Amino acid sequence: MNKKQIINTLKLLGFIIVVSFIIDKIAYFTITKISDTVYSGQAIGKLNHYLAIKDTTKLIVFGSSRANHHIDVKKLNPSSYNMGVDGKFIAYSATLIKLLPKDVKQTVILHVDPNVAYREYYNREETKTLMVKYHTNAVIKEELDRAELTNPLQNFYWCIDYNGLVLGILKNAVFPKYDLEHYYGYDPMEVHSTQKEIFKKILERNDSIVCKTNLKLNPLFNTYLKEIESFCSNNNKKLITITTPLYIDKCPEDNNALRKILEDLNIEYHDYSNFFENKNSTDYWVDIAHMSNVGAEIFSEAIRKDLSIND
Amino acid sequence: MLFNSIEYLIFLPTVFILYWLLNKDLKKQNILLLIASYIFYAYWDWTFLSLIIYSSFIDYYIGLKIYETNSAKAKKNWLRLSLFSNLGLLAAFKYYNFFTESFAEMMLLFGWQVDHVTLNIILPVGISFYTFQTLSYTIDIYRDKLKPTKNIVAFFTFVSLFPQLVAGPIERASNLMPQIESVRKFKQKWFHDGIFQIAVGLFRKVVIADNLGVYVDSIYASPDVHNSSTLLLATIFYSYQIYFDFAGYSDIAIGSAKLLGFRFNQNFNLPYFSNSIADIWQRWHISLSSWLRDYLYYSLGGSRGTALFTFRNLMLTMILGGLWHGNTWNFAIWGAIHGLLLVGEKIIFSVLKIKNAGWFGYIYPFWVVLLSWVFFRAKDFEAAGVIIKKLIFFDFKIPFIGDTNAIVTGLSMLIIGMSLDLYLYRSKQELETLGRRLTPIKLGAVVSVIILLISLFYSTSNNFIYFQF
């Protein structure tokens, strides 16, 4: 390798680094500008919507798809929002709860899933979708750094914040799906024929269920649970935990164990896993863990009476 | 170490700098490459390095012995020892459980219950690749096509050279050994080619293949619950996933080698633009298909006999080629399907006295190969049966989409990937030499855009598919 080759090689590599950095920043700020106007879609839109209403809403539901599709929050309180999102668990919820205003009286309903609580491997990977706010929100940045989920190149290539989300952002910017005036985060699911067929086949399969015997609370779940409890009790929030129905729950042991832990932490807990029991119907379900709009409406009506948090 | 890891992003430039700092001393350069290659492998599991060293040592020694011996019988015996050692390694680590289970199942057909022991054996990464590579060395010496090397460092480097160690391309000694044993000069053109091909390879792998894989994995996990159109869509996606996964891997391997001054042979040449099944096999995983042709098909007699004899050899080669990929009957069936397709195509072309099927030749290979991918991807024979049955008795229902974002991302990136392939096909250019055709400014700009696309659309998945072979 002669001197000229070294210079040419360094020039090319330097050029790539500089140009890719500049292109990255142009793309990042353009996408951020578009993204901030998006209020549709689960990944970004809902997060933006949440950030817009979190300070003025009295009741907010957090959790996974089961929170999102099962709880019609308007039945619980007129000033409410359902921040349940598909595939999001306690780490995601904890991060969002920590964004709530400190001195405003609010009710936090957190959906807890014993299946996640007692999962051997839970790496809070779902919080990755909060990456879109990595360079713009200090609390989110701190949580993501703590979770060690960031890409080492992310501080150089900021567009990694939007990894996997750009097309969704563009689509939702061009074709906004929700009526923001009336949308409050609850997404009831209508069952179409293909889904119904799949669900029937799953039921026919009659898969055997093995209940967990070693019920050891996942340490990360435990940490976040305590953090949520601490944040809520110190910041004027009423915390209620809830487990929404399953088509059938043959393993009540984990729910009972979780109940004990929540009681020890003085956290209110309502377990509705077997809510339908003998009154069950496949019309209430999309799959074994998710209720249809029909099931969700029945359930929401029932918890409205049960939870008594209408004020 | 995976090519799409941060570790490799640090490893490759480090090796590159040290390597060219030593460019006045070939011996030191080769020692550096050997150490780097062993570190590369040990990053996965250092204990299995012993197998590479064992395989290298055996073939280094046997290569010399075959060459030194004048007796044809002794030469043959040394070759047998090489075959026994290398294939023995494969048999022990890759096929032991397959053999014992298949034997027990066969006995059960005759009503005999045979107790068999299956072992919890870890498949050493890259074993199928480096055993074939060392085998080609001794066979070429036996066939008087190659002289053995006395330079042990050079030979060990040939076996373990990190860009091709764990998933090929299966480089022949006739191509690689002379490059290892002679002074390499840094070539700016090759550097441009290498940078470009690595960038394209990463895009193909982490953007196209991995995004398509999200949908494929979700559907193939439970084929029994999905309808025909869903399974067809997943199988089409898989056919592109596996292509871009392995072609992407090969691109990174070939590009990395070029940065170090090595020219590897092309491993993929736009296989989905083939106009016959035979053409596919000249464009898909070329280093393996040419290996199977030269060392298995020709050894069986090739086409030097009756048509029936040729067909037998073709079938055997393809079935064994299928089993090379994995130790289940699904892979054997996949190979057998390809054997039958090749035989059928030969017969039809011969009866119709044509060399190819014209425009139809650009359509049917993809679709028949598509069906064979079902056996390649399905988790077992039963699952493959369910999928094939649903694809044959098509129900014309709306496909299940699942995660819309993942499917749209996968499709959009697939269009970009196939557009590049189409450009290469129409312009009759090779990806391997495209980098040099771009000015440094254009190259820098194109690579920067690829980096942006990777940042925005990469998908995190576990492995390169071919690592499991």
- Give chain A's mean pLDDT: 90
Q: Which of B193, B242, B182, B187 is nearest to B378 (CA)?
A: B242
For domain A36-307, say whether CATH 3.40.50.1110 is its number: yes
> Does residue B59 sit in the same domain as residue B14?
yes
| B223 assigned to some structural domain | yes
Catalytic residue from among B192, B226, B285, B325: B325
Q: Is B161 helix (H, G, I), strand (E, B) or coil?
A: coil
Interval B459-464 mean pLDDT: 65
| B430 assigned to some structural domain | yes
Q: What is the pLDDT of residues B55-69, one digit of tens each?
A: 999 999 999 999 999
> Does residue B208 sit in the same domain as residue B86?
no
B positions 45-74 inside 8 Å of A (CB): none
Q: Which residue of A has its CA nearest to B188?
A: A5
One-letter amino acid identity for B62?
A: I
Q: Does A12 touch chain B (CB under 8 A)?
A: yes
Measured between beta carbons, which residues in chain B are less than 8 angstroms from residue A32? none
Angle in degrees, CA A182, A67, A101, rounded to 5: 70
Q: Distance (Å) from the C-alpha of residue B443 to the closest C-alpha of chain A?
A: 8
* Cα–Cα distance for residue pair A199/B400, rounded to 1 Å: 12
Res A132: pLDDT: 92
Measured between beta carbons, which residues in chain A are less than 8 angstroms from residue B6? 151-153
Q: Distance (Å) from the C-alpha of residue A75 to the closest C-alpha of chain B?
A: 29
| B51 assigned to some structural domain | yes
B positions 181-210 inside 8 Å of A (CB): 186, 188, 191-192, 195
Of the given ranges (A67-81, B376-390, B397-411), which has the lowest mean pLDDT?
Answer: B397-411
Q: What is the pLDDT of residues A237-296, one digit of tens each?
A: 999 999 999 988 888 888 999 999 999 999 999 999 988 887 888 889 988 889 999 999
Measured between beta carbons, which residues in chain B are less than 8 angstroms from residue A202? 222, 225
Q: Distance (Å) from the C-alpha of residue A151 to the closest C-alpha of chain B?
A: 9
Res A287: pLDDT: 87
Q: Which residue of B has its CA nearest to A170?
A: B405
> Does residue B208 sit in the same domain as residue B117?
no
CB of B267 within 8 A of CB of B245?
A: no
Q: What is the pLDDT of residues B245-286, one digit of tens each?
A: 999 999 999 999 999 999 999 999 999 999 999 999 999 999
Res B467: pLDDT: 63
Res B121: pLDDT: 65
Contact B405 A164 (CB under 8 A): yes
Res B116: pLDDT: 65
Res A185: pLDDT: 92
Interval B377-399 mean pLDDT: 89
Q: Does B415 touch chain A (CB under 8 A)?
A: no
Res B257: pLDDT: 96
Interval A44-63 mean pLDDT: 93
Q: What is the pLDDT of residues A150-193, one digit of tens each?
A: 888 999 999 999 998 898 889 888 888 777 778 899 999 998 88
CB of B113 within 8 A of CB of B107?
A: yes
B positions 5-34 inside 8 Å of A (CB): 6, 20, 23
| B415 assigned to some structural domain | yes
Contact B224 A205 (CB under 8 A): yes
> Does residue B138 sit in the same domain as residue B21?
yes
Res A180: pLDDT: 74
* Cα–Cα distance for residue pair A170/B348, rounded to 1 Å: 50
Calculate Rg over the CA atoms of chain B.
23
Write the residue in A1, A8, A24 that is nearest to B455 by C-beta. A24
Res B119: pLDDT: 62
| B18 assigned to some structural domain | yes
What count of other Cβ atoms lies within 10 Å of the Cβ of residue A41? Answer: 22
Structural domain total, chain B:
2
> Does residue B269 sit in the same domain as residue B372?
yes
> Does residue B127 sit in the same domain as residue B70?
yes
| B65 assigned to some structural domain | yes
Contact A194 B398 (CB under 8 A): yes
CB pairs under 8 A between A and B: 89
Contact A5 B23 (CB under 8 A): no
Interval B439-447 mean pLDDT: 95
Q: Is B192 in the active site?
A: no
Q: Which residue of B has its CA nearest to A27?
A: B452
Q: What is the pLDDT of residues B153-211, one digit of tens each?
A: 999 999 999 999 988 799 999 999 999 999 999 999 999 999 999 999 999 999 999 99
> Does residue B234 sit in the same domain as residue B379?
yes
Q: Which residue of A has its CA nearest to B22?
A: A1
Q: Distance (Å) from the C-alpha of residue B455 to the closest C-alpha of chain A?
A: 5
Q: Is B398 exposed, middle or buried (0-12, 13-18, 19+ CB in 10 A)?
A: exposed
Contact B447 A20 (CB under 8 A): yes
Contact B457 A194 (CB under 8 A): no
> Does residue B416 sit in the same domain as residue B269?
yes
- Give chain B's mean pLDDT: 90
Q: Which residue of B has its CA nearest to A154?
A: B455
Q: Which of A240, A245, A225 is nearest to A290 (CA)?
A: A245
Of the given ranges (A56-70, A106-120, A195-209, B290-304), which has the lowest mean pLDDT?
Answer: A195-209
Show the tokens assigned to A288: 């074994």
Measured between beta carbons, which residues in chain A are less than 8 angstroms from residue B451? 16, 20, 23-24, 157
Q: B120 falls in which pLDDT band (50, 70, 90)?
A: low
> Does residue B411 sit in the same domain as residue B440?
yes
B positions 224-243 inside 8 Å of A (CB): 224-227
Measured between beta carbons, which residues in chain A are less than 8 angstroms from residue B397? 194
Q: Report the share of chain B in percent with pLDDT over 90.
A: 73
Res B109: pLDDT: 77
Domains of chain A, residue spans? 36-307
Q: Distance (Å) from the C-alpha of residue A49 to the closest C-alpha of chain B?
A: 20
pLDDT at B341 over 80: yes
| B294 assigned to some structural domain | no
Q: What is the pLDDT of residues B424-437, one digit of tens each?
A: 999 999 999 999 99
Write the residue in B440, B449, B451 that is nearest to A15 by C-beta. B440
Residue whose structure tokens are 């190149």? A153
Write the residue in A152, A195, A205 that is nearest to B6 by C-beta. A152
A positions 17-46 inside 8 Å of B (CB): 19-20, 23-24, 27, 43
Contact A201 B405 (CB under 8 A): no
Q: Which of B238, B237, B269, B273 is nearest to B254 (CA)?
A: B269
Question: A interface mutation test: which of B8, B203, B396, B456 has the most A CBs within 10 A?
Answer: B456
Q: Does A11 touch chain B (CB under 8 A)?
A: yes
> Does residue B85 sit in the same domain as residue B141?
yes
Q: What is the pLDDT of residues B13-61, one digit of tens each?
A: 999 999 999 988 999 999 999 999 999 999 888 888 999 999 999 999 9
Pair type for strands A80-84 and A106-111: unpaired
Res B187: pLDDT: 93
Q: Does B218 touch chain A (CB under 8 A)?
A: no
Q: Which of A191, A167, A159 is nearest to A294 (CA)?
A: A191
Measured between beta carbons, which residues in chain B are less than 8 angstroms from residue A167? 405, 408-409, 412
Show the tokens assigned to B264: 């590897």
Q: What strands, in cross-sheet order, belong to the sheet with A80-84?
A: A80-84, A59-63, A106-111, A237-243, A268-271
Interval B136-144 mean pLDDT: 95
Look up the ipTM and state it. 0.85
Contact B225 A198 (CB under 8 A): yes
Show the tokens assigned to A220: 């990360």
> Does residue B180 sit in the same domain as residue B93?
yes
**Domain of B94?**
6-184
pLDDT at B127 over 90: no
One-letter amino acid identity for B95?
A: Y
3-state SS track over B352-401:
HCCCCCHHHHHCHHHHHHHHHHHHHHCCCHHHHHHHHHHHHCCCCCCCCC
* Cα–Cα distance for residue pair B283/B269, rounded to 1 Å: 5
> Does residue B253 sit in the same domain as residue B112?
no
